[in-house]
Amino acid sequence: MKFTKMHGAGNDYIYVNCFLETVNDASALAVAMSDRHFGVGSDGLVLIMPSSVADFRMRMYNSDGSEAEMCGNASRCVGKYVYDNRMTDKTEITLETLAGIKRLKLHIKDGLVSAVTVDMGEPVLKPSQIPVDAEGDDFINRIIKVDNAEYAVTCVSMGNPHAVVYMDEINSLKIEKIGPKFENHPMFPRRINTEFVKVIDRNTLQMRVWERGAGETLACGTGACAVLVSSVLNNLTDRKATVKLLGGDLLIEWNEKDNRVYMTGEAVKVFEGEWE
């Protein structure tokens, strides 16, 4: 089976073209291929498939085999894959995901995709729809007790659930200890992705992310979008800001007119290979 390793801001996945290849047990394959010692090494597996409602369909699996609704960084790489491999000649495409249909604008340089802007859709703030086990119309700056400490948390869904926590310093954060505590907290019935954020100024944010099913990753596109939305709701930033992640920068805008979040970032092919 042929595959391609790609990354968006260091968030690396293995991509399989299911127009040409057949995958019978995607969960098991994701676990095997994602292993960084005995496999290819990645944050997960992405299947590029035909769609009856969009130009293409994306299914994605975390490195633990669980299926996720959506990944912003992966969606950018799908856009690069299908254009660079001549599966489309359009520079604006639609992509079916479990979080709905996403619209991608491809930025071309020397005949190849160098960056992609993804319409990530409208943020979901109602706790029951994120989901968070809490009452009310939103979950903004509420206190949650995690491992005997209290944290002010804002929750947002960008098609998948996120909890945003602001801190004065995140470089020294022992994320491998606190991350799983948030991920598996009883308030989050479908687990949670957690972003730990330092506000640099009203146009710049720094974040680290603990992704459910994957642990700490170098970047998370939906997470960066959730962070920008949360920061606007908490009056910490303007509606357009650069989010600095371990793997690189993403430009995020929450458009006031259409209430949609737009993410722009790179998409990079690392190598191609064959899995036996």
Domain 127-259 maps to which CATH number in 3.10.310.10, 3.50.50.60, 1.10.3720.10, 1.10.1040.10? 3.10.310.10
Shortest CA distance to 244 belongs to which of 212, 220, 268, 210?
Answer: 220
In this structure, which topology does domain 2-119+265-274 adopt according to CATH?
A: Diaminopimelate Epimerase; Chain A, domain 1 (3.10.310)
The predicted-structure confidence for 87-123, as pLDDT tens digits, reads as follows: 999 999 999 999 999 999 999 999 999 999 999 999 9
In the chain, where are the structural domains located? 2-119+265-274, 127-259
Known catalytic residues? 71, 220
C-beta of residue 94 within 8 angstroms of C-beta of residue 119: no
Comparing 2-119+265-274 with 127-259, is the CATH topology the same?
yes
**CA dihedral for 24, 30, 34, 39, sign (positive or negative):** negative
> Whole-angstrom Cα distance, residue 161 to residue 262?
17
Question: What is the reported pTM?
Answer: 0.91
The predicted-structure confidence for 201-222, as pLDDT tens digits, reads as follows: 999 999 999 999 999 999 999 9
Beta strands in the chain (DSSP E): 2-8, 11-17, 44-49, 56-62, 67-68, 92-97, 100-109, 112-119, 142-146, 149-157, 161-166, 193-201, 204-211, 215-217, 240-245, 248-254, 261-266, 268-274
